[in-house]
Amino acid sequence: MAALVAAVLSGCVVAPPPRHVVAAPRTVVVEPPPARAVLVEPAPAVVVAPTAPPAPYVETVTVAPSPVHVWVAGFWEWGGGRYVWRPGHWATPPRPDVVWIPHHWEPGPGGWHFRPGRWAVR
C-alpha cells in the first residue's frame, strides 16, 4: 500500500498560485468641444456725407437663383462729393445661421454716417 501511495503522490503536480496582474492606469485625453465660429470682419472705413442720401430707388427683386440666396438691397454710396446708387443683388450667406443686416445711413456728428451691411448670427 505504501508503494501505491508513493506512486500516486509522485505523479501529483502542484500548480503555482495565479499571478495577479495590475495594469498601470492609462491617460485619457479629452479634447474640449470646438469653439463656436464667429464672423470677424475688418472695421469699415468711416464714411460721412454732408447731406442726407436721396430716397432709395424702388428695385425690382428678381427670382432668387436658389433657395439659399438672400436679397441684398441697393443703397446710396458716397464718393467723389456725391451719392451714387449701388443696385441690389442676390448673395449667398457664408453660413446657414446668419441673416443680412442692410446698409443704411444715420445722422451723426458732421453729417450722415454710412453703416455698411453685414451678416449677423440669428
The three three-digit cell numbers of residue 85, written as one number: 446708387
pLDDT surpassing 70 at residue 38? no
pLDDT surpassing 80 at residue 37? no
The three three-digit cell numbers of residue 26, written as one number: 492609462
> Which residue shows C-alpha cell 491617460?
27
Does residue 105 contact residue 52 with C-beta atoms inside 8 Å?
A: yes
- In the three-class reduction of DSSP (H, G, I as helix; E, B as strand; rest coil), residue 10 is classed as helix
Q: What is the mean pLDDT of the chain?
A: 86
Helices (H), the chain: 2-10
Q: pLDDT-derived band of residue 78, with 50, 70 and 90 as boundaries? A: very high
Residues 45-75 have pLDDT tens digits of 889 999 999 999 999 999 999 999 999 999 9
Q: pLDDT-derived band of residue 19, with 50, 70 and 90 as boundaries? A: confident
The three three-digit cell numbers of residue 103, written as one number: 446698409
Instruction: State the pLDDT at residue 27.
Output: 77
Confidence (pTM):
0.62
**For residues 35 and 76, what is the distance between their CA atoms, to the nearest angstrom?**
37
**For residues 56 and 86, what is the distance between their CA atoms, to the nearest angstrom?**
10
User: What residue spans define the domains of the chain?
Assistant: 68-122
